[in-house]
Structure 1
Amino acid sequence: MPSFSALRSTALRLNHPSSFSHLQTSSCRLFHVKAPITGLIARQTPRSSHAAASYPLLSLHQWRSYADSVTIKVPPMAESISEGTLKQWLKEVGEQVEQDEEIATIETDKIDVAVNAPQAGILKELLVEADTTVTVGQDLATLEPGEGAPKPAKEETKKEESAPSPPPKKTEESKPAEKAPQPKKVAEKPKAETSPPPTTHSAPAADGIGNRGEQRVKMNRMRLRTGERLKQSQNTAASLTTFNEVDMSAVMEMRSLYKNVVLEKTGVKLGFVSFFTKACILAMKDVPVVNASIEGPNGGDTIVYRDYVDVSIAVATEKGLVTPVIRNAETLDLVGIDKAISELGEKARHGKITLEDLAGGTFTISNGGVFGSLMGTPIINLPQSAVLGLHATKQRPVVVNGKIEIRPMMYLALTYDHRLLDGREAVTFLVKVKEYIEDPRRMLLP
């Protein structure tokens, strides 16, 4: 049978550089196909059954050259992100993939980026191993295009199982059928946030002390990047923290009275963070420098004041801390703020957060109280100038109108950049927040 190179040479001699035109050989007929030679698809039709038997390749309906394979590359991620770590492959070589189906996950400093198949086909080769650093535009895998392969006939199998059939006779011939091996289950792929457990090296216990094993796990890119930014904040900002305490009685009473009504009408659960967010926005009207930031070379020489408030809400995930942003929070009411917090929190916890959700932010609120923290000093999220830390609400004895009463009290912590805010502005802002929380009706006043 003539080789492909011989057929190509014949086509070139016939002045058909981009297509074959009714070339006849002793074994097959190549029909005219309008396609470049490098990506030619030729249909072979055996002239006789004898020819088909002589050439096994003639039993194939079609063949493709190597140029038909599609190279899957690292997709563009963001202007500030040029590389990431290939966390895992979701498909293996030889598996059928559909168009836009996710085949791999790339972990970046901020988010996970999905790699999708550009078209349906069969995965031919994986060019990069898991846990390898990849850059935008790098080749990841090759895909052989084609129609979606028929899925395993699970439904047909179920139908056959559900159809009534006479019980098999208990004979020696039927015993092997009864004990036929079940189809092997495909091994479950590791979850996006997990990796194969590291090897544990344990030394024999001495004098009954117990196991002294150690584990070493490589930090993910998000946690590494978060650590770098926090350390950069400590090295750049002149951080100082001021504290106050707030009586949560009024907010808790208001939430208790109206949370069911709000849930029935809007489907949103009324929380406490929305009250603090609204209180901070109103307090910024009196102390706008809290919503400002420093920009410029050599640490900054320009103050940027803003007419809008983009509030970053700290969300703890298994991979690390992220701070999705509520845009133009000053235009939202309590229910709108709670709805935005709920949606962003769900996206962050399920790994669906995007770079657009994390970009920007002019002020941060961190609620460590959900984990039971009584007091702490949050770190400023640069280039912002302040961050408010919320803590656990505890029943404590306090003096109210000259009498000792038990009230639900919370400590507030405001960490601020002393290069931009003086103590007077920082303390005034925190006292304003305290007043709005202790009397929520003030939020309705002009």
Structure 2
Amino acid sequence: MASHFARRLIRRPVAAFFLLRSYGHTRQITHYILPGDSVCTKPLREVLEFFPRSSHYKLWSRSFSFENGDLVDAVVPFMGESITDGTLATFLKKPGDRVEVDEPIAQIETDKVTIDVASPEAGFIQKFTAKEGDTVTPGTRVAVISKSAPTDTHVAPSDETVSKDTPPAIPVEKKIETQVPQVETPVKEKPKAPSLPTPKTSPSEPQLPPKERERRVPMPRLRKRVATRLKDSQNTFALLTTFNEVDMTNLMKLRSEYKDAFVEKHGVKLGLMSGFIKAAVSGLQNQPIINAVIDGDDIIYRDYIDISIAVGTPKGLVVPVIRNADGMNFAEIEKEINTLAKKANNGTISIDEMAGGTFTISNGGVYGSLLSTPIINPPQSAILGMHSIVSRPMVVDGSIIPRPMMYIALTYDHRLIDGREAVFFLRRIKDVVEDPRRLLLDL
């Protein structure tokens, strides 16, 4: 009975094929009945060679059994508590490239940082499922990774068969039609209207440059975020700036005398920023209102001091935070500044390292700025601006001598901070920088 049933299946290959498929995926079936009631345990692709090349069953079986099962998706990772989406900035790889586990294949640009999309498995990039410039959310599929090596695409046997077995087309004889010559009627030309003189361009008209010399690029998300926050700062805060100047002689002398010993002991260079941070900590402790913030109808006084440092990077301005700066010494501050600055420049800084901050210091002097009015970084209430050091003639003890001078500026929210507190704070910065010994004596 079984042999009779098998012979009937052999005479109906299509029915046999779908019957085998009903017991599981063809790739998992290991026994096949062949002509002569024999049983075969070879893989299905070898069994299919039994059918002639011109058979259509082979084409059908190829389409049903072609399933790799080794494809994995690369998705957008979690980007932070306050970030819900980002822009697919660029692909670091191309389709067909080899990737390793956790190797970055794309970069997502958010409002604050740039996040890498890593490959979940080692393999080859089969295709990208998103485009550069798309807005993506955590969990969005970006690429498909194949764990096996890519294979060359071949023409299906059925296609080759059709091209070989198709008889040549029989040429169709063209019918010769007798054409009757047509006599063309001459067309009378209409009289031309008198030409009007071309109006001359007025010399006063502005000559705009051609559009070919302009480039339009989408604004990065980081730049959009900075623009929004700073404009909100202008619209919300009552901004006012007060200025002072600082004699940098003593701080620069301190740095010059102890720079070698400082590097030898702490492994980091002694800079001017650590001196200003220590001075800002002292000023915030003397004027705690500048470290406070308005929240609705309340004032929140902070009993901790987290100093934000504005860092300019090729992708835009970022503001990493030095936590608990009031409990750090010069060496600890310098080490933290170097670590955060390196992360900011190579794009590896995290969102947590930029969150918070009670007061910001911006050093425009590294770019040559002589004087500026910095804008507050919300939700803080003040920001200190440093500028370039310029040798200027100053009157010291009745004599005019050259001194390295720096202008400093404090922009503050006048809704919360009065001019008295702002001037006292800036004066404290000046006193500590000009005489760092005050920090030792707590004066």
Q: TM-score range by the shorter chain?
A: 0.7 to 0.9
- Pair 1:143-2:145 in alignment: yes
Match of 2:350 among 350, 354, 360: 354
Residue aligning to 1:29? 41
1:423 Cα deviation from its structure 2 partner: 0.7
- Paired residues for 1:108-127 under 5 Å: 108-127=110-129
Q: TM-score, normalised by structure 2?
A: 0.75
Aligned to 2:363: 367
CA shift, 1:226, in A, is 0.5
Residues 285-315 of structure 1 deviation map (CA, whole Å, 9 limit, x = unaligned):
11111111122xxxx2221111211111000
CA distance in 2, matches of 1:148, 1:343: 42
1:381 alignment counterpart: 377
CA distance in 1: counterparts of 2:327 and 2:47, whole angstroms: 76
Distance 1:144 1:371 in 2: 48
Match of 1:163 in 2: none
Aligned to 1:403: 399
Asked whether the equivalents of residues 120 and 148 of structure 1 are also in contact (C-alpha less than 8 Å), the reply is no
| Cα-to-partner distance string for 1:312-344 (whole Å, 9 max, x where unaligned) | 100011111110111111111111111111111
| C-alpha deviation, 1:140, in angstroms | 1.6
What's the offset of the Cα at 1:430? 0.6
Match of 2:292? 292
1:302 maps to 2:304: no
Counterpart in the other structure of 1:433: 429
Contact in 2 for aligned 1:96/1:148 (Cα 8 Å): no
Confirm or deny: 8 A CA contact 1:322 1:348 kept in the other structure: yes
Contact 1:98-1:148 at 8 Å conserved across structures: no
**Structure-2 separation of matches of 1:75 and 1:4:** 43
The 3-state SS of whatever aligns with 1:408 is strand
1:73 aligns with 2:75: yes
1:148 Cα offset (Å): 11
Q: Which whole-Å CA distance do the structure 1 matches of 2:20 and 2:88 have between them?
A: 42
Query: How do 1:175-194 and structure 2 match up within 5 A?
Result: none
- After superposition, give the CA deviation of every residue in 1:325-384 in whole Å (9 maximum; x if it has no partner): 111111111111111111111111111111111111110000001111111000000100
User: In the TM superposition, what is the alpha-carbon distance from 1:224 to its structure 2 partner?
Assistant: 1.3
Q: Which of 371, 388, 394 is equivalent to 1:392? A: 388
- What is the match of residue 88 of structure 2? 86
> Aligned partner of 2:246: which letter?
V
* Cα distance in 2 between the residues matched to 1:28 and 1:405: 103
How far apart are 1:408 and its partner, in Å?
0.7
CA contact (8 A) 1:292 1:303 kept: yes
Q: Which one of 22, 34, 52 corresponds to residue 9 of structure 1? A: 22
Which amino acid counterpart does residue 73 of structure 1 have in structure 2? Answer: V
SS at match of 2:389: strand
Partner amino acid for 2:122?
A: A
Pair 1:225-2:225 in alignment? yes
Amino acid in the other structure paired with 1:24: Y
SS of residue matched to 1:242: strand
Tell me which residue corresponds to 2:326: 330
* Offset at residue 4 of structure 1 (A): 8.1
Q: Is residue 28–residue 44 contact of structure 1 (8 Å, CA) maintained in 2?
A: no
Say if 2:73 and 2:120, in contact at 8 Å, map to a contact too.
no
Q: 1:203-218 alignment to 2 at 5 Å? A: 213-218=213-218
Contact 2:124/2:149 (8 A) holds in 1: no
Cα distance in 2 for residues equivalent to 1:210 and 1:147: 55
DSSP-derived class of the 2:117 partner: strand
Give the aligned length: 361
Q: Which runs of 5+ in 1 are unaligned?
A: 13-18, 31-42, 150-208
CA contact (8 A) 1:29 1:45 kept: no
Greater C-alpha Rg: 2
Shift of 1:260: 1.3
Return 5+ residue gaps in structure 2 as ranges: 1-12, 152-206
Query: What amino acid is aligned across from residue 41 of structure 2 in structure 1?
Result: R
Q: Which amino acid aligns with 1:104?
A: A
